[in-house]
Chain A
Amino acid sequence: MHISEGILSGGVLALGWAGTVAGVSYGLKKTNPDRIIQTALISSAFFLASLVNIRIGPSSTHMTLLAPMGLILGHAVFPAVFTALLLQALLFGFGGILVLGVNTFVMASASLAVYVIFGRAIRESSGRTRVIVLSFMAGAFAVIIAAVIAGMFLIMTDSDFAGAVKILLIAHIPVAIVEGAVTSFLVIWLKRSVPEFLS
């Protein structure tokens, strides 16, 4: 999901940073200072979970966990994703500093979209099947939306990237299915064990 350095044009990078600065400012404004540490620790839990390698069939994958992040952190997702990606760049050299604005915007806006669209419905649903279906949709939706936004940034740089973007979208379909399944299992677990997490 990370876009590497050196691909996007200066204007597109600036656009990504503008969106990220706006999102982070809004997130910090909406976050109660008493929840800063909680947000940071939840962000670390997601950061580490995304590093766990899960073997599926002949291949293996890392989760992005965009939907659970959105559902749990809500408006605080922008600052949380920003810090997580900054640390990822500094600790592992993944992503990059210049493209951090775009990558944050891609992931955090997908998470925020999940929170806005599915958050209330998942919180208020009581039927197990309904929660599973909604959470699966939220998990898959987050991955697809993030891929679409990443694709939009690539096409804004050069419309000739359209063919590569199509491949990017197709490659994300299996990831979306796995993410949807993990999200539904996690939401079911949270609703049963710690329902206040989703509120």
Chain B
Amino acid sequence: MTRDIYALEIPRENLSASAGHHPAIVLISSVIYALAATASTNAYSLLTASLLPVSLVKRVKLSALAKLNLVNAVMILTLALTWPTPAGRGLYPEVKAGLIMGVIISLRVNMIYIAFSAMVYPLGIGGMYEALCFMRVPENLRVMMIMTLRGINILRERYESAIISVRLRAPNIRGVMRLKIFAAMMGNVLLQSLERSENMMKAVKCRGGFSGFMQCGTHAVKFGDVVYVMCFAFYGIIIAVMNYA
């Protein structure tokens, strides 16, 4: 388990659909699934690929799924009106090809979103850090990820107070002035982030620099993890076979 200074550890039992498995294995497995789902173009492969998301959909927020499908609806409409056919562009019957393409893409978007939402996103930052460690991602990048997260928490308060003061002082500003105030607000937060980062860097240096700043997890890949990823590989192969059969 990672031993970091911001207590980003997550208990294994919270890993939801991937409980107990190494985060890197979960990430790799879901990427295998997503790749297979992305390549699905016919009804058989889409149906096969939909088995996993159907079993996981209970773990996903329906409001998020609804927002996603709102965007999908715009995409379907755009493709329906722009997809070329031998007869040219335009409305019905040419609209049919674009409509079908849009629906296929929407199905894929939903399937992959559900799979990632139920499997990868619950890993959180701690799990993702461990997965990146496993994949030998450079320490500088991992530190940057953790520090960015820390910065988001620190600077969020600054933005919130800046937005409140703008609302109180000038509630009815319009047009270009609104953009000007946004730019000044951002400039202030950037300045504060510069000062804060200098102090943080001094603190890190006082503690011996980045070396071993955050240690990688000690979890080894177990036999169960290998079986898990193999199952996903097999599932991916079945989806691909259904697609090309």
Query: A: which residues have CB within 8 A of B?
Result: 4-10, 13, 24, 28, 31, 33-34, 36-45, 47-49, 52, 54-56, 63, 65, 68, 72, 79-80, 82-84, 86-87, 89-90, 93, 96-98, 160, 162-164, 166-167, 178, 181-182, 185-186, 188-190, 193-194, 197
Whether B151 contacts A96 by the Cβ 8 Å rule is no
Binding site for A on B (CB under 8 A): 27, 30-31, 34-35, 37-39, 64, 71, 75, 78-79, 81-84, 89, 101, 105, 107-109, 111-113, 116-117, 120-121, 123-125, 128, 138, 140-141, 143-152, 154-156, 159, 163, 176, 178-180, 182-184, 186-187, 189-191, 193-194, 196-198, 200-201, 204, 210
Chain B positions within 8 Å of A96 at CB level:
34, 112-113, 116
For this complex, 18 residue pairs linking A to B, each with C-beta atoms less than 8 Å apart, are A5-B34, A5-B109, A6-B38, A33-B210, A37-B143, A41-B200, A45-B190, A48-B189, A49-B186, A54-B182, A55-B178, A56-B178, A96-B112, A181-B176, A188-B183, A189-B183, A197-B190, A197-B191
- Cβ–Cβ contact B151 & A43, under 8 A: yes
Measured between beta carbons, the chain A residues less than 8 angstroms from B82 are 162-164, 166-167
Residue in B closest to A192 when the chains form the complex, CB atoms: B187
Q: Is B31 a contact partner of A98 (Cβ separation < 8 A)?
A: yes
**Given known contacts A5-B38, A185-B179, A41 and B155 CB-to-CB distance under 8 angstroms:** yes
Which of B116, B146, B176, B193 neighbours the largest number of chain A CB atoms within 10 Å of its CB? B193
Q: How far is the CA of A166 from the CA of B78 in the complex (A)?
A: 11
The answer to whether A44 and B148 touch across the interface, beta carbons within 8 angstroms, is yes
What would 8 more interface pairs be, CB under 8 Å, given A5-B109, A41-B151? A5-B38, A31-B140, A41-B194, A44-B150, A52-B159, A56-B179, A188-B183, A193-B191
**Residue contact B34 to A93, C-beta cutoff 8 Å:** no
- Report whether A90 and B121 are in contact in the complex, using a CB–CB cutoff of 8 Å: yes
Instruction: Tell whether, in the assembled complex, residue B194 and residue A7 are in contact, meaning their CB atoms are under 8 Å apart.
Output: no
In-complex Cβ contact of A48 among B78, B83, B159, B176 (8 A):
B159
Q: Does B210 contact A36, Cβ atoms closer than 8 Å?
A: yes
Closest residue to B191 on the A side, CB-wise? A194
B34:A4 contact, CB within 8 angstroms? no
Which residues of the partner chain B approach A24 to less than 8 Å between Cβ atoms?
Answer: 141
Which of A24, A48, A79, A83 has the most chain B CB within a 10 Å cutoff? A48
- What is the bound-complex CA distance between A55 and B174, given in angstroms? 9
In Å, the complex CA distance between A169 and B198 comes to 40
Closest to A14 in B: B35
B216 to chain A, nearest CB (A): 17
Docked-complex contact A186 and B183, CB < 8 angstroms = yes
For B198, give its contact among A13, A38, A181 (CB under 8 Å): A38
User: A79 touches which one: B38, B84, B111, B144 (CB < 8 A)?
Assistant: B144
Contacts of B148 in A (CB 8 A): 40-41, 43-44, 47, 80, 83-84, 87
- Distance in angstroms between the alpha carbons of A5 and B183 in the assembled complex: 32
| Contact A82/B141 with A43-B151, A97-B120 known, Cβ cut-off 8 Å | yes
Q: Which residue of B lies closest to A6 (CB)?
A: B108
Closest CB in chain B relative to A36 CB, distance in Å: 6
Asked whether A44 lies within 8 Å of B71 as measured between CB atoms, the reply is no
